[in-house]
Structure 1
Amino acid sequence: MTQIVSFAGSGSGLGALHCAMLDAFSDYIVPLQPDSDTFKAALSARNFDPEASFVAVEDDDVIGFWNVATRGTKRYLIGSGTRIGHRGRGLASRLGMAAIHAAENVGIESFWLEVIKGNTGAERLYRKLGFDVARTLDCYRLDHPAPDRSSCKLSDFSTVADVIQRYSTWEPAWQNTTETISGLQLTSFLHEEGGAIIGAGGLVHQIAASEPSALEDLLAAAATAGSLTLVNVDSADSALCSLLQALGAHRFIVQSEMRLSLPNVS
């Protein structure tokens, strides 16, 4: 018999959740196979909430999951999946409904997630559960072999985060918010004409500037590894997207950010 229960009440550990995730994502559009430490660190950074997360348990094995984060009155789906051998049984729908009902019961105002365009089964499920597309997010990979930091200088995280907030026209996706990345080992640059970038190891978490030329300088300054990856750029940011395309960046994933507004039942 399969039970749908909160992760906190399941008696399962993160090791069991990790094993379920590896199986569920082994045939994903973008195969994702993190080791145990990376998996646990990602959950921690994104505010994994065991009470808000739900698992499908059968014979003491986790066979499906909705890993959920909580911040204030918002919840976010970190990741969901069903083990390959247990698909087609409606587990994903049951897990989603359980997570949504739990959120309603504690006064959560909205539930957020991202889904890769082309993952039609997942998008169909999320729409069935009541989610609507809020915006489109683009992921880019940019080869930039000649870093140039002449107009940029290293700075501390809090200063740079404030500058980005001043110039940015959109909110970063959940995994790139200041709350999520504040505990990471980051490199931050300020531009002399106004703007900033935050990243680590070739991954750009946040960037904003007063002018496209400053954006280009900041990208060059951050390209210490010879290439950059920008995940979840708001497609409505025409200045940044146009610049990336002009520089020859490859858009390798397009995602829909989806939102479910919840009634106040408290």
Structure 2
Amino acid sequence: MEIKSLDGIDKKVLYQAFVSAFAGYDAPTPDEAALQTMLARRGFNAAFSFGAFEGGELVSFTFNGTGLYNKIATAYDTGTGTIPEHRKQGLAKRIFIESKPVLISAGIKQYLLEVLQQNVKAVALYQSLGFETVREFDYYYAPASEIKPIQVTTDSSIELHEVSDPDAELFTTFQDFRPSWQNSFEAVQRRPNDFIIITATFKGRVIGYGILEPFSGDITQIAVEHSFRRNGIGTALLNRMLSLNRFGSVKMINIEKTCHSFRGLADSFDWKPAGSQYEMICKL
């Protein structure tokens, strides 16, 4: 068994390994183009991603993204999997251990991932490797037909507009929590043409926003200035994004569990969390 970088490995090889590793899971498997879009959004870096090869076949892998997170050079686990025939051999652990010196020598200071809370074995593995839980997230998922726009009345001076670029500095002041890696402004800027950005304005002043990836059904961010809350603005933004969705399902991933304002908004649509994740970090 050889552990090596995925730099130079054909995208079709990566896709086939991904499909084999995740076959039989509840979540639908993306097609090749959708996988490439997801990896690009998450900052996939083949040179700092690694796999286990048996007889030239990629049998286990970790796709890593790289970038800054909280202004710290970070590697992000954007997908780890092992094909069924090679599970229970400790390959994911071996890949992490053998890739760690490469990441450190490249100046990476921390390793970031999210893991489903119910995946007890994976959580225990990451803890044994030195990962610590930083935050807890909920995720929301439903068929698009089940989450419908609801009636809302807002001040006549409130208007919704589509804009081409997010004003990250302003939008950040509206947030109750820092977006996760895959929902960050950096992620949006990696694939800007994939997103629709909507602002809510009051007499020309931006007081809220939402970011949607319409062809995946992903509601990436939504927030309203604190002093303008409880005026139906969040509902209006979510309504608009639901109407612009072009996918068969709709989802919001990595909502901080302590964010009561968002939970209240989701409750108004009768949208309950589908599960929870831990955000974990290992200092390198």
Normalised to the residue count of structure 1, the TM-score between the two structures is: 0.88
Match of 2:47 in 1: 51
Query: 1:24-173 maps to which residues of 2 (within 5 A)?
Result: 24-28=21-25, 30-72=26-68, 73-141=73-141, 143-146=147-150, 151-173=158-180
TM-fit CA distance, 1:6: 1.1
Contact 1:134 1:258 in 2 (8 A): yes
Superposed CA deviations along residues 130-176 of structure 1, whole A, max 9, x for unmatched, are: 11111011112471244769634123142454442121132211111
Q: 1:228 to 1:81 in 2, by over 3 A?
A: closer
| AA partner of residue 176 (structure 1) | N
Contact 1:53 1:68 in 2 (8 A): yes
Q: Does 1:209 align with 2:209?
A: no
| AA partner of residue 47 (structure 1) | G
Match of 1:224 in 2: 243
Match of 1:244 in 2: 266
**Structure 1 stretches of at least 4 aligned residues deviating more than 6 Å after TM superposition:** 147-150
| AA partner of residue 190 (structure 1) | T
Instruction: Describe the SS at the equivalent of 1:67.
Output: strand
Q: 1:259 to 1:152 in 2, by over 3 A?
A: farther
Superposed CA deviations along residues 85-108 of structure 1, whole A, max 9, x for unmatched, are: 101111111011123232222221
Choose 51-60 or 121-130, whichever is displaced more: 121-130
Q: 1:187 aligns with which of 174, 196, 210?
A: 196
Q: 2:256 aligns with which of 216, 229, 234?
A: 234
Contact 2:152 2:235 in 1 (8 A): no
Contact 2:163 2:199 in 1 (8 A): no
Contact 2:135 2:279 in 1 (8 A): yes
Q: 1:32 to 1:92 in 2, by over 3 A?
A: farther
Q: How many residues align?
A: 258
| Distance (whole Å) between structure 2 residues aligned to residue 98 and residue 149 of structure 1 | 57
Q: Does 1:255 align with 2:277?
A: yes
Q: 1:14 aligns with which of 6, 11, 14?
A: 11
Instruction: Describe the SS at the equivalent of 1:170.
Output: coil
Q: 1:20 to 1:141 in 2, by over 3 A?
A: closer
| AA partner of residue 148 (structure 2) | H
| Distance (whole Å) between structure 2 residues aligned to residue 261 and residue 71 of structure 1 | 15
| Distance (whole Å) between structure 2 residues aligned to residue 204 and residue 52 of structure 1 | 28
**Residue segments in structure 2 that go unaligned for 5+ positions in a row:** none
| AA partner of residue 217 (structure 1) | A
Q: 1:147 to 1:221 in 2, by over 3 A?
A: farther
| AA partner of residue 49 (structure 2) | S
Q: 1:148 to 1:238 in 2, by over 3 A?
A: closer
Q: 1:45 to 1:228 in 2, by over 3 A?
A: closer
Contact 2:21 2:82 in 1 (8 A): yes
| AA partner of residue 158 (structure 1) | D
Contact 1:115 1:256 in 2 (8 A): yes
| Distance (whole Å) between structure 1 residues aligned to residue 46 and residue 168 of structure 2 | 29
Choose 242-251 or 156-165, whichever is displaced more: 156-165
Contact 1:46 1:69 in 2 (8 A): yes
Match of 1:4 in 2: 3
Contact 1:152 1:217 in 2 (8 A): no
Match of 2:209 in 1: 196
What is the percent sequence identity of the aligned residues? 26
Q: 1:219 to 1:149 in 2, by over 3 A?
A: farther
